Amino acid sequence: MSGEYERAFHEAVSNPEKFWGAAATKVRWYRHYDQVLTSDNPPFYRWFEGGMVNSCYNALDYHVEQGLKDRIALIYDSPVTKTVKKFTYGELRDLVARCAGGLQALGVLKGDRVVIYMPMIPEAVIAMLACARIGAIHSVVFGGFASRELATRIEDAKPSLIVSASCGIEVNRIIPYKPLLDAALAQCSHKPSKCIVVQRKEAPVDLVEGRDLSWETLLEAEPVPCVPVNSTDPLYLLYTSGTTGKPKGVLRDNGGHLVALTWSMENIYGVRPGEVFWAASDIGWVVGHSYIVYGPLFYGCTTILYEGKSVGTPDPGAFWRVIAEHGVSVLFCAPTAFRAIRKEDPHGDYIKKYDLSGIRLLFLAGERCDPDTLLWARAQLGVPVIDHWWQTETGWAIGANCAGLEMLPVKPGSCTKPVPGYDISVLDAAGRDAPAGETGNVVVKMPLPPGCFTTLWNNDTDFVKTYFSAYPGYYLTSDAGFIDTDGYLWIMGRTDDIINVAGHRLSTGAMEEVLASHPDVAECAVSGVHDPVKGEVPLGFVVLKAGVITQQDQIESELIAMIRQKIGPIASFKAAAVVKRLPKTRSGKILRGTIKKIADGVPYSVPATIDDPVILDEITGILREMGYPKR
Ligand code: COA
Ligand code: AMP
């Protein structure tokens, strides 16, 4: 081992100004910052204050100016439309400049919000970068969310404009987006001045006169140059699940984000400019923001925008085709993608059909990776497989094997070591350091490194309360885990009601709010239970109001439809059980953890505080009848 990781880690903790100041030299500034880190108002730290910068300039124009206009910036690969389209840095810059001109012509100003509700098509990336170009704040809403979720975000972000598309395509199914957008706007008191619609040939739609505008019309505008913004000005707003039905608007700055992501491409992912980097995620999630759009382009790589699933039907080799065809060097995806592939192709027969000699590294994140999946992926691909841990809030990895810096031995199940910049501890409930190997609350000592969220949109109070008040001086990750005797970090699960379904972060609290709104439901609970492909899926338990007589099948299908309609299909809510009572403590707290253990077939002890232990036997019986545990 070279000691490079240890050196970087210690410098980033002991002298963050020096460490991140050096990293900032790789970024193009219009005006040099006055200081690297401003710490006068914790936890509201500011990175590179006084600096003027533009994220779009760093992603596109700079590379074009360096003579790289013909390098491929973006490959759109869409098995669902049987399309592959490549954009050079020059072409992408020109499209973005015209899109930015169109936004400006419609009155979008620096600091205005633009909601982007789109499938995985190039126009989505162009719209994001166009916002960055003029200093507008984009807020991408994942296409699998239903109109109510979209409405909540529109109401909170108050966008001056929305960019959307006529439809999304899910394998063999068209998802009409426009009706979802119209329904969302009907629910909102805030009305954006215009909606831009990309007409897809699979499902063109009628435009609302006076409100809607086609993408082509938008792009008729004159191109505009990048607008210098403050380093601390927001680049984007991304909503993520919180512990209530109301999502949290994570706000990201320009300068810190630019420095951190540029550093991560070289030092975590070990990729080189010009290489093909593929994050098989969706632009609606943070992984898509950081590693489909910004990171690879800041670093001069070629990025892939993939509109499809990890397993095509009938082709379980969908991923291998992309890697071979486009010469992918580094792949980043969620473990669920590999579990799905393994299910269809357990012996890797499809892998052997493709030339995968170009791939060097596979990174996994988004949910806990079971060692079995990691080992299977490693055996099939013959390259190091690195599990790394991060959150929407941080925007980049907190714990990883920093392959570019120094490859450390892999321990399957662990996400290796804290990334330089993150000073991690595991604390017990009393705030004491947990002994090595003992699970506790994973926290990060302030300040968080650059690139992490600067606050919650319009909600400094919740920013402080949710993340910085449990343990003064520390950021609470809401993940439980431990550090072993070698200093390796193991992330075991959430301490709140968030679950990870196929790598997608969802709130069981939000689902409970929907179930509770059913007229026959007296009370309910939702737990995340084990699923062999998606890792976790939600399972509902409902107690019916006195006197209600209904069949289990009837109420279950109504509840499934409600979640699908109000949260979206992405919740993967497919089962609900009617029970006489919910297991509770004597003080009335629902024992969700115990329900989960029963459903997962994990041994459990009857909590001493339970008010009526008999109910656990009833739930066990019901779950057995429903086929749980699903292993
Ligand atoms: N718009 C509309 N609906 C969507 C959608 C979108 N953008 N994305 C997903 N959905 C729907 C799906 O069609 C599905 O609907 P269904 O219940 O009617 O079948 C539902 O939401 C759940 O989607 P998903 O969780 O993707 O499950 P799946 O069974 O369709 O596919 C995998 C499972 C594992 C193959 C797929 O999730 C995958 O390829 N995952 C890798 C993704 C990844 O790497 N994410 C990284 C996050 S960091
Ligand atoms: P998101 O904000 O959608 O990126 O989800 C963040 C959450 O996903 C984290 O708080 C973890 O609970 C979980 N997560 C992400 N990556 C990992 C990982 N490598 N191992 C374990 N959990 C992970």
The crossing angle, in degrees rounded to 10, of helices 508-516 and 552-566 is 120
Closest among 439, 500, 431 to 471, alpha carbons compared:
431
Pocket test for ligand 1, best of 309, 313, 505 (most atoms within 8 A of CB): 309
Q: What is the pLDDT of residues 291-334, one digit of tens each?
A: 999 999 999 999 999 999 888 666 789 999 999 999 999 999 99
Task: Assess whether the C-beta atom of 368 lies below 6 angstroms from ligand 2.
Answer: yes
- Is residue 514 pLDDT above 90, yes or no? yes
Distance in Å, CA 570 to ligand 1 centroid? 6
- Percentage of the chain surpassing pLDDT 70? 99
Across residues 68-86, what is the average pLDDT? 97
Cα 417 from Cα 486, distance rounded (Å): 9
pLDDT of residue 110: 97
Going by alpha carbons, the residue nearest to atom 2 of ligand 1 is 144
Which residues of the chain are in CATH 3.30.300.30 domains? 498-625
pLDDT of residue 312: 67
Contacts of 554 (CB under 8 A, 6+ apart): none
Structure tokens at 93: 């810059």
159-163, 187-191, 556-560, 615-619: which range is least confident on average?
615-619
Pocket test for ligand 1, best of 118, 336, 339, 563 (most atoms within 8 A of CB): 336
pLDDT of residue 314: 63
Distance in Å, CA 290 to ligand 2 centroid? 15
**Mean pLDDT across the chain, nearest whole number?**
95
Give CA angle at 79 (75, 84), nearest 5°.
30
Cα 428 from Cα 438, distance rounded (Å): 9
Rg of the Cα trace of the chain? 24
Structure tokens at 168: 């999304």
Cα 387 from Cα 364, distance rounded (Å): 5
Cα 266 from Cα 125, distance rounded (Å): 22
Q: What is the pLDDT of residues 249-302, one digit of tens each?
A: 999 999 999 999 999 999 999 999 999 999 999 999 999 999 999 999 999 999
Cα 601 from Cα 178, distance rounded (Å): 43
Nearest ligand 1 atom to alpha carbon 503: 47
Distance in Å, CA 187 to ligand 1 centroid? 26
Strand partners, 162: 115, 195
Which ligand neighbours the alpha carbon of 480 most closely? 2
Pocket test for ligand 1, best of 390, 570, 574 (most atoms within 8 A of CB): 570
- Is residue 246 pLDDT above 90, yes or no? no
Cα 527 from Cα 501, distance rounded (Å): 12
CA distances from 248 to 165, 347, 393, 458 (A): 25, 42, 10, 10
pLDDT of residue 280: 96
Distance in Å, CA 398 to ligand 2 centroid? 10
Task: Assess whether the C-beta atom of 476 lies below 6 angstroms from ligand 2.
Answer: no
pLDDT of residue 259: 98
What's the CATH class of domain 87-227? alpha beta
110-114, 381-385, 553-557, 603-607: which range is least confident on average?
603-607
Q: What is the pLDDT of residues 580-618, one digit of tens each?
A: 999 998 888 899 889 999 999 999 888 888 888 899 999
- Is residue 557 pLDDT above 80, yes or no? yes
Which ligand neighbours the alpha carbon of 478 most closely? 2
3-state SS, residue 323: helix
Which residues of the chain are in CATH 3.40.50.980 domains? 87-227
Distance in Å, CA 387 to ligand 2 centroid? 11
- The CATH number that domain 498-625 falls under is 3.30.300.30
- Is residue 171 pLDDT above 70, yes or no? yes
End-to-end CA distance of the chain: 39
Closest among 318, 348, 332, 343 to 268, alpha carbons compared:
332
Pocket test for ligand 1, best of 310, 391, 394 (most atoms within 8 A of CB): 310
- Percentage of the chain surpassing pLDDT 90? 91
- Is residue 102 pLDDT above 80, yes or no? yes
512, 505 Cβ separation under 8 angstroms: no
DSSP state of 201: T
Which ligand neighbours the alpha carbon of 292 most closely? 1
3-state SS, residue 229: strand
Pick the more confident residue, 242 or 454. Answer: 454
Q: How far is CA 100 from the centre of its chain?
A: 25
Cα 314 from Cα 125, distance rounded (Å): 29
Q: What is the pLDDT of residues 320-376, one digit of tens each?
A: 999 999 999 999 999 999 999 999 999 999 999 999 999 999 999 999 999 999 999
Residue length of the chain: 631
